[in-house]
A = this chain, B = another copy of it.
């Protein structure tokens, strides 16, 4: 399937040219390992530009690693993590949070992948009762696994709620760039200023080869994180290569351009699909995902031309993800293939 582009996932894409150039540039000579190098220093400075001087940032290998180490850093095993039933940490990480943090996840059914304070509230009824896990963290995905986006006001409401209940707000931001692009707000407004406590900041899905970042907005909570990262097997030895990628991604707003482009392609795709009578868009298109009902009999033949996943076998709802490298041509070709198939 190489040299071709599909709609299966934004991690099916490769590496953005400027990121690749950064990797090449970082390859001269020796530097100290594990982050004690100039590349890491520079990349950390980029994060402070985006999120403010008070943050602490740590680079890790992958998205599951970012989530589980970040969550473990702010919980004890008898505490619970509240999340949406659709959350990546709940369904797509093979129980990594439970195993590494020891915590129970309390997953709430939602219609759009988003949580509200009112939904979390009832879970606190048993606070202080030794028989029950104690909700300590609200973890949200931004953008969600359903392609929806929390506004900065919604995040602030959750953060305020958490704070008044002695809880913390964690954001799985594997696609936070897409959320920021959609909202037209800065990363700082969406996190630091909204009151987020810990953020997994995604690199891989937005044009990097590998590498994510864990951002702590209160440096005090980051005090022991270097040990948690190492114990979680998420400390890269040749750290400069993750740092260099982040440096490239955050420089000159490449992160935003990539995300905005992917979102734009998703909107284009949705608007084109809406014109096809037998196809129905099922969810708001806010980030880079389009969910649509496609007649079951046609799915397999369309997949032969462009790969994508069926999200819900029962309803024949499919998920179409756009990437930083998705082209208008890709979109129009997919639309034409679908149109042709479903007639």
Contacts and interface: CB of A to CB of B under 8 A. Distances in A.
Each complex incorporates copies of this chain amounting to: 4
A29 B9 contact: no
A: interface residue count bin: 35 or more
Among A24, A27, A230, which residue has the most Cβ atoms of chain B within 10 A? A230
Interface in A1-24: 1-6, 8-9, 11-15, 20, 23-24
Nearest to A102: B99
A241 interface: yes
A63 B125 CA distance: 24
Nearest to A134: B227
A252 interface: no
A154 to B, nearest CB: 27
Count chain B CB atoms within 10 A of each CB in A30, A235, A313 and give the residue with the most: A30
Interface of A: 1-6, 8-9, 11-15, 20, 23-24, 26-34, 37-39, 61-65, 68-69, 76-78, 80, 91-96, 98-100, 102-105, 125, 130-134, 204-205, 209-210, 224, 226-238, 240-241, 307, 313, 323, 325
16 contacts: A2-B28, A4-B29, A12-B32, A14-B238, A23-B209, A61-B210, A62-B236, A62-B237, A64-B233, A68-B233, A78-B230, A92-B131, A95-B104, A98-B98, A98-B104, A99-B102
